[in-house]
């Protein structure tokens, strides 16, 4: 009998001690409100993603081509999206006239080139996003399709920005979203993921400097518009096709927006930069 009583007393003591230990370790409760589930850090935390610069959308891509008598510029537009706009100026950019051939069903501009002092040609996606080469001999009043010009043209495929059409056939672009392609003679250049690239024989070569926002061609040299720490705007550098590992800085288009759509072209020994509502000359 005494043995049973002792066992019962021992069980009571154990129960009291267990209840006291539970109350000591239990977090304080705010009334009957449910408390958040505690979280634990095991010493390894996921790294915070580094923000990347927002890429200019394809339909916002700009083109600029300067002839001796007429200047031309365009925004790309998109198949099934915003319409492209093509403009020309006969007073060195002071005023612009809309000469978009909307009557032909143009959907997207792929290239823009002044092939003479006053005439221009484009490669454009038309109805069904099918590429055509159009030329104007009337300062943009009328445009006509030239299949033989298209066969010799170089441009980013309007249905696949990761493919570039060369006269010899399609080749993969150096990134999935190539833009701003320019070609003259044997020189082909474009922008991919904030870098300028040129095509040579059978491969793409990355050009300096980093932070490219636009390219242009001046003879056998490639002009690169880019971001730079010491330029409050769009900086411009020149890269020789014979030396693609170095670049000569030409100057800075101060107070322009390098994060906005940008287009550049050579002009009178200098470089014209079209950014936002501004046309700024870099160089002499």
Q: What are 182-208's pLDDT values in tens digits? A: 999 999 999 999 999 999 889 999 999
Question: Cα–Cα distance between 89 and 96 in angstroms, integer?
Answer: 5
| Of 55 and 139, the one with more pLDDT | 139
Question: Cα–Cα distance between 114 and 123 in angstroms, integer?
Answer: 12
Residue 168's nearest CA partner among 151, 186, 191 is 151
Question: Cα–Cα distance between 95 and 87 in angstroms, integer?
Answer: 10
pLDDT digits (tens, 9 = 90+) for 240-270: 998 999 999 999 999 999 999 999 999 988 9
Contacts of 260 (CB under 8 A, 6+ apart): 56, 275, 276
On average, the pLDDT of the chain sits at: 85
Question: Cα–Cα distance between 230 and 182 in angstroms, integer?
Answer: 27
The continuous run of DSSP H or E covering 75 comes out as: strand 71-75
Q: Which of the residue ranges 12-16, 47-51, 53-57 has the most confident prediction, judged by mean pLDDT?
A: 53-57
- Residue 36 CB neighbours (<10 A): 5
> Any idea which of 14-28, 69-83, 86-100, 227-241 has the lowest mean pLDDT?
14-28
Q: State what percent of residues in the chain have pLDDT above 70.
A: 81
Contacts of 166 (CB under 8 A, 6+ apart): 154, 188, 199
pLDDT of residue 55: 63
Q: State what percent of residues in the chain have pLDDT above 90.
A: 77
Average pLDDT over residues 272-280: 95
**34 pLDDT tier (thresholds 50, 70, 90):** very low
């Amino acid at each position: 009998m005494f043995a049973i009583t002792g066992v019962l007393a021992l069980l009571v003591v154990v129960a009291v001690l267990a209840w006291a230990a539970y109350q000591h370790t239990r977090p304080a409760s705010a009334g009957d409100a449910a408390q958040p589930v505690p979280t634990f850090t095991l010493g390894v935390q996921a790294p915070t993603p580094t923000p990347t610069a927002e890429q200019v959308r394809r339909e916002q891509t700009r083109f600029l081509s300067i002839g001796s008598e007429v200047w031309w510029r365009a925004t790309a537009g998109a198949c099934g999206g915003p319409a492209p706009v093509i403009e020309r100026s006969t007073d060195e950019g002071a005023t612009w006239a809309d000469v978009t051939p909307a009557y032909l069903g143009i959907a997207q501009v792929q290239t823009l080139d002044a092939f003479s002092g006053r005439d221009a040609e484009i490669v454009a996606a038309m109805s069904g996003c099918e590429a055509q080469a159009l030329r104007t001999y009337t300062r943009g009043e009328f445009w006509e399709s030239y299949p033989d010009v298209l066969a010799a043209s170089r441009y980013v495929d309007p249905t696949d920005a990761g493919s570039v059409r060369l006269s010899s056939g399609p080749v993969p672009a150096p990134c999935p979203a190539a833009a701003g392609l320019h070609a003259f003679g044997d020189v082909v250049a474009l922008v991919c993921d904030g870098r300028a690239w040129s095509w040579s024989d059978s491969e793409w070569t990355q050009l300096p400097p980093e932070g490219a926002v636009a390219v242009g061609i001046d003879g056998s040299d490639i002009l690169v518009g880019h971001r730079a720490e010491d330029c409050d705007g769009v900086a411009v550098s020149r890269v020789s096709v014979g030396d693609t590992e170095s670049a000569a800085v030409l100057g800075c288009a101060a107070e322009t927006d390098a994060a906005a759509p940008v287009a550049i072209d050579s002009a009178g020994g200098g470089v014209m930069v079209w950014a936002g509502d501004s046309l700024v000359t870099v160089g002499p």
